[in-house]
A and B are shown apart, each in its own frame.
Chain A
Amino acid sequence: MTNRSVRNIWILSAAMGLTFYGLAASPALAAGEIIAAFTKNQVDPHFEDVRAGVEQMAKKMNATVRQYVPTKPNNITEGMSQLEDVGVTKPSLVLFMPIDPKAQLPTIKRLIDAKTPVLNYNDRAGDAPYLAFVGEDDYKLGYDIAKTLFDHLGGKGKIVILEGIKGSNTGDERKRGFDAALKEYPNIKLLASQPANFQRLLGLQVMENLIQQFNDIDGVIAAADASALGAAEALKSAGRGNVPVVSINGVPEAVEAVKTGSLLAIAEFNGFKIGCVATEIGLKAIRGEPVPKQVVIPAAIITKSNHAEWLVPYPERTCPAAASYIGQ
């Protein structure tokens, strides 16, 4: 080995060592409990909202948060590895949302058996002795927003559905809600129902293709804001910007689209509130306070007339108290 190679190896080793030292030294640990908070990806603003809620409430209650997010969006393999890592690090509290409930349930049960307290939030994660569940009712979100569109159409018209990810709990429950509402409106005809995987580009392209097939689309239901925004873009490009589009979530961009009329309405799936309440309930539980087994946060329908509340930036929002949702 030449001197130059040896020198390069030393430089490389020093750089890697400094990088890891910097990463390890960067989070200043607060006193109090350590929370391991799981979210599904770094690309959907909804999960950023969840993380913001968790961070705000943890800070308020003097706990430290370690965020666990797969580098590849919704990657089950990474999600499983991160769960196993948490089994080793043994945090005071785990806030868990499943990527695949069936695949992750055995690992979660092992964690709980090993005396790690786990609270399930955002999406239901199967039957296990969780501290509590905090989230919203995806079925009801789907049902309510579909009814909002059908009522807007006067109970008559032809619609298309852009589903979420087939097989995902969130996507399937929302779809079940759409279908239940459809059954109540015999004069609403479903032209097509295609997955757009909660994605903007897929929402755009699937809608572009459906526009070619159907000349008379009266309304669009999307399972998430991103695919709704893509669909609205496709409709606008095709000169059909007047077709009403509804969705679920309520990220700021979509709320602005409601304000401008690009979207008709959104069923609020508020990640920030879920993050806040889950953290509060979880910390109270491990501190020995009594907590309910389930907190379902009620969803508002965001429309042009009430949208202002959802345009407030997250740093300026304040976590709601869990007590205001208990018993609802």
Chain B
Amino acid sequence: MTTMEAPALTSHPRQSLAPGTLAIIVRVGLIIGIGLMMASVSPGFVSADNFLNILRQASLLFLVASGLTLVIIGGGLDLSIGANLTLCACLAAAAIKSIGQPAAGIAVALGCGAVVGLANGVLINRVKIPAFLATFGMLWVAQGIAYWFMAGQVIYGFSPAFRFFGSGFWFGVPVPIWVMLVTGACGLIFLSRTTFGREVYIMGANEAAAVLSGIPVARHRVFLYVMSGLMAGLSALIYVARLNAAEPGIGEPLLLPAIAAVLVGGTSLSGGSGGLFGTLLGAIILTLIVNALNLLNVSASWHPFVTGTIVLLAMLADAVVNRGMRK
């Protein structure tokens, strides 16, 4: 079973390939297609440097989207990730500046992310506020605190030791890519090799059945929101280290691309299917499109249109392939 597959929920008697595997094939095909097209028209595209460049940019998007993927698979939604990232970035930057130790910033960022995630989980599971509304409210609360805390200013200039997380290289590969690989691998193992991970798929696909079968849905869901918050906190650290600055607008533009990466990766917004490998491919596709448009010097006015069209074509290819498999 692949991680893109909801266990025993989406199989079809006449299918030889699981829908998850098909989705992966479609996306890998899209990446290869764009790659071949670019290789023929842009000499700068095919180089180790550019591939690392694409992966480094995709890694930042993947880290933000990975926590969201877990939440969505479990049947939830987290609209507060961008604002959570902003708040964690600002608080962590202030902690590093005042204490002078990167460790302080790491602790503050992860702590802040976990607290915001826990608050989301409690609002949704204990207070019974719908996930959309709870996390939408939390978006404003986190962003508001960040605005108040920063008062329109930017915190900048960090030590090389801290900047290593965003700008450094390890064995010739940018550190954010290593962080993406490690967190992605942990997430893949969690979803596909643990009972808890499989229960996440079940509760996302059919919450009532999950409750009846004894799965502690409420506790699991709180855990997923805490994980989403932790990933926002980790992303905040990488962003601050990469940009050498924390500003109160850092996370706001990341929400929609993160949701897009999850959905383009094949995770269903209704929960119960999808996976982190798909989100990784989604992040690569979105980054690759922008990279290609920049290399071709296409006017930025066309970027949203081209991105949207390619995303829709990917979804259309999914639908066509799935229909073909059912015949």
Please list the residues of chain A having a beta carbon within 8 angstroms of any beta carbon in chain B: 41-45, 47-48, 51, 71-73, 163, 166, 192, 194-195, 199-201, 204-206, 208-214, 226, 229-230, 233, 237-238, 251, 253, 256
The one of A199, A209, A214 that contacts B53, using a Cβ cutoff of 8 Å? A209
Chain B residues contacting A43 (CB-CB under 8 Å) are 152, 247-249, 252
Q: Is the pair B294, A213 in contact by a Cβ cutoff of 8 Å?
A: yes
Measured between C-beta atoms, what is the minimum distance from A65 to chain B in Å? 14
Measured between C-beta atoms, what is the minimum distance from A69 to chain B in Å? 9
If A43-B247, A200-B243, A237-B167 touch, whether A71 touches B152 (CB-CB below 8 Å) is no
Q: How far is the CA of A207 from the CA of B242 in the complex (A)?
A: 14
Number of interface residues of B (CB under 8 A): 39
How would you classify the secondary structure of chain A's contact residues: helix, strand, loop or mixed? helix
Decide yes or no whether B170 CB sits under 8 A from chain A.
no
Closest to A214 in B: B44
The one of B42, B49, B50, B152 that contacts A47, using a Cβ cutoff of 8 Å? B152
Measured between C-beta atoms, what is the minimum distance from B42 to chain A in Å? 7
Q: Is the pair A73, B53 in contact by a Cβ cutoff of 8 Å?
A: no
Q: How far is the CA of A255 from the CA of B291 in the complex (A)?
A: 30
Q: Is the pair A213, B300 in contact by a Cβ cutoff of 8 Å?
A: no
Q: Is the pair B49, A212 in contact by a Cβ cutoff of 8 Å?
A: yes
Q: How far is the CA of A230 from the CA of B156 in the complex (A)?
A: 12
The one of A163, A204, A211, A213 that contacts B243, using a Cβ cutoff of 8 Å? A204
Chain B residues contacting A204 (CB-CB under 8 Å) are 242-243
Chain B residues contacting A192 (CB-CB under 8 Å) are 294, 297
The winner among B42, B56, B248, B294 for most chain A CB atoms within 10 A is B294
How would you classify the secondary structure of chain B's contact residues: helix, strand, loop or mixed? helix
Chain A residues contacting B253 (CB-CB under 8 Å) are 199, 201
Q: Is the pair A213, B295 in contact by a Cβ cutoff of 8 Å?
A: yes
8 Å CB interface, B287-301 against A: 290-291, 294-295, 297, 300-301
Decide yes or no whether B183 CB sits under 8 A from chain A.
no
Q: How far is the CA of A194 from the CA of B143 in the complex (A)?
A: 29
If A41-B249, A200-B247 touch, whether A212 touches B295 (CB-CB below 8 Å) is yes
Closest to A226 in B: B247
Closest to B51 in A: A212
Measured between C-beta atoms, what is the minimum distance from B166 to chain A in Å? 10
Chain A residues contacting B239 (CB-CB under 8 Å) are 201
Measured between C-beta atoms, what is the minimum distance from A3 to chain B in Å? 18
Decide yes or no whether B153 CB sits under 8 A from chain A.
yes
The one of B50, B140, B252 that contacts A212, using a Cβ cutoff of 8 Å? B50
Decide yes or no whether B245 CB sits under 8 A from chain A.
yes
Q: Is the pair B154, A51 in contact by a Cβ cutoff of 8 Å?
A: no
Q: Is the pair B294, A209 in contact by a Cβ cutoff of 8 Å?
A: yes
Q: Is the pair B248, A212 in contact by a Cβ cutoff of 8 Å?
A: no
8 Å CB interface, B46-94 against A: 47, 49-50, 53, 56-57
Measured between C-beta atoms, what is the minimum distance from B39 to chain A in Å? 13
Q: Is the pair B167, A205 in contact by a Cβ cutoff of 8 Å?
A: no
Q: Is the pair B245, A45 in contact by a Cβ cutoff of 8 Å?
A: no
Q: How far is the CA of A307 from the CA of B33 in the complex (A)?
A: 50
Measured between C-beta atoms, what is the minimum distance from B246 to chain A in Å? 10
Measured between C-beta atoms, what is the minimum distance from B43 to chain A in Å? 8
Q: How far is the CA of A256 from the CA of B157 in the complex (A)?
A: 10
Q: How far is the CA of A237 from the CA of B56 in the complex (A)?
A: 12
Decide yes or no whether B223 CB sits under 8 A from chain A.
no
Chain A residues contacting B42 (CB-CB under 8 Å) are 213
Decide yes or no whether B263 CB sits under 8 A from chain A.
no
Measured between C-beta atoms, what is the minimum distance from B168 to chain A in Å? 10
Chain B residues contacting A205 (CB-CB under 8 Å) are 57, 290
8 Å CB interface, B221-265 against A: 239, 242-245, 247-250, 252-253
Q: How far is the CA of A226 from the CA of B154 in the complex (A)?
A: 10
Q: Is the pair B45, A72 in contact by a Cβ cutoff of 8 Å?
A: no
Decide yes or no whether B190 CB sits under 8 A from chain A.
no
Q: Is the pair A251, B295 in contact by a Cβ cutoff of 8 Å?
A: no
Closest to B43 in A: A213
Chain B residues contacting A195 (CB-CB under 8 Å) are 300
